[in-house]
A = this chain, B = another copy of it.
Amino acid sequence: MTARPRYVYLGPSGTFTEAALLAMTVGSEIEAIAVVDVPAALSAVRAGEADHAAVAIENTVEGGVTATLDSLAEGAPLVIQGEVVLPVEFELVAREPISLDAIERITAHSHAWAQVRRWAHATVPQAVFVPASSNAAGALAVAASEPVGGIPVDAALAPPGTAERLGLHKVLEHVADNPHAATRFVRIGRPGEVPAPTGSDKTTLTVHLPTDRSGALLEMLEQFAARGVNLSRIESRPRWDHPGEYSFSIDALGHIAEERIADALMGLYRTCPLVVFQGSYPAAGAASADVQGHMTDQAFADARAWVAHLRNGHHSA
């Protein structure tokens, strides 16, 4: 019998999402369960079959963004409880040692291939791409010497660690077109205790606007600007069921326990048709929220005290 938290992730074993899950839970005993897609992962958490899900949310090699954002916004509420950012890079793995110019066919998920095309053109120009249903499936086919979609393959591109895990030969590592490319993964859970603020946090929101007027967007953003809150991500999604209306997915730098975030949330709540709070959690990296002096909790407390003083008929010194 176990009290280990149960995590679901986009499988099979060997995906980038699994690597992110390991990074999120370093030093903890967990139970990891692979599922077939992001909606399945979130459903498992909603249903109580899992405690948490690890899913990609931004600029991904595995196509998770749209699916994750859509799935988060629909159904019973879920919140983000943490994030990790992993570089986008691959291993080139084969069953036996093989020289680069002997490789005729390489398998991988099509998204992975899109991320290494310049490398492929320069390094293995003769190689033909054979799409696999996932990077992990491609690597398993190589390990089993099985064809992919009926076509024999010589090598696979897969996440770091795959060669060691499957007992394959690592032909090349650090394969990537863009050394700065990265994917952001988040830990999802059911609403409950909000993680304590760390001084470097993010708050994720979904906000609806009633119109496509740029003025409406300006007014929504003024709710952040008037409190000195910066945004690290904003994406509009058309509301297909309400033509001309938009849903915005936003990451704001700061924590709901901070006055400036709470104040901005209150402003949005009053002025927008819908605001969904999707969590405050520690930001990956050391990026501080860079709070200006007049936006600190102390500044808010001072301002509140000043107005209370005035309301009682007193005057500021």
Contact = CB atoms under 8 A, between A and B. Distances in A.
Given A214-B230, A269-B302, A269-B306, 17 more contacts: A37-B113, A38-B114, A43-B117, A59-B240, A67-B114, A133-B149, A146-B150, A191-B315, A222-B222, A227-B267, A234-B234, A257-B311, A265-B306, A266-B304, A267-B303, A276-B316, A277-B316
A193 B50 CA distance: 55
Q: How large is the interface on A (under 10, 10 to 19, 20 to 34, 35 or more residues)?
A: 35 or more
Contacts of A299: 270
Question: How many copies of this kind of chain does the complex include?
Answer: 4
Contact of A149 (B129, B137, B256): B137
A244 B306 contact: no
Interface of A: 36-40, 43, 58-60, 63, 65-67, 71, 77, 79, 109-111, 113-114, 117, 129, 131-134, 137, 146, 148-150, 178, 180-182, 191-194, 212-215, 217-219, 221-238, 240-241, 243-244, 246, 253, 256-257, 262, 265-267, 269-271, 276-277, 287, 294-295, 299-300, 302-304, 306-307, 310-311, 313-316
Contacts of A133: 109-110, 131-133, 148-149
B277 A310 contact: yes
A232 to B, nearest CB: 6
A185 to B, nearest CB: 14
List 6 tightest A-B contacts by C-beta distance, closest first: A180-B240, A266-B303, A63-B63, A131-B133, A269-B303, A180-B241
Nearest to A217: B221
Contact of A236 (B191, B231, B265): B231
B232 A212 contact: yes
Contacts of A182: 240
B231 A222 contact: no
